[in-house]
Amino acid sequence: MAALETLIEALKRLPGVGQKSAQRMAYHLLQHDREGAQQLSTALRSAAEQIGHCRRCHTFSETEICTICADPARDPKLLCVVESPADQAALERSNSYRGYYFVLLGRISPLDGVGVGQIGAAELLQRAAETGVEEVILASSFTAEGEATAYVLAEALRARGLKATRLARGVPVGSELEYVDLGTIAHALVDRR
Ligand code: ZN
Distance 59 CA to ligand 1 centre (A): 6
Distance 115 CA to ligand 1 centre (A): 23
Tell me what the pLDDT averaged over the chain comes to.
90
pLDDT at 170 (0 to 100): 65
In this prediction the pTM is 0.82
Instruction: Count Cβ atoms below 10 Å from residue 82 Cβ, excluding itself.
Output: 28
Question: Where does the pLDDT of residue 18 fall: very low under 50, low under 70, confident under 90, or very high at 90 and above?
Answer: very high
| Average pLDDT, integer, range 76-103 | 93
Distance 54 CA to ligand 1 centre (A): 5
| pLDDT over threshold 90, residue 136 | yes
User: Each residue of 46-71: pLDDT tens digit?
Assistant: 999 999 999 999 999 999 999 999 99
Distance 27 CA to ligand 1 centre (A): 39
Distance 35 CA to ligand 1 centre (A): 34
Q: Find the Cα–Cα–Cα–Cα dihedral 125, 131, 134, 139, rounded to 10°.
A: -40
Strand, coil or helix: 182: helix
What percent of the chain lies above the pLDDT cut of 70? Answer: 96
In angstroms, what CA-CA distances link 124 with 95, 143, 151, 186?
23, 21, 14, 23
Question: Where does the pLDDT of residue 106 fall: very low under 50, low under 70, confident under 90, or very high at 90 and above?
Answer: confident
Distance 97 CA to ligand 1 centre (A): 15
Distance 143 CA to ligand 1 centre (A): 25
Distance 188 CA to ligand 1 centre (A): 23
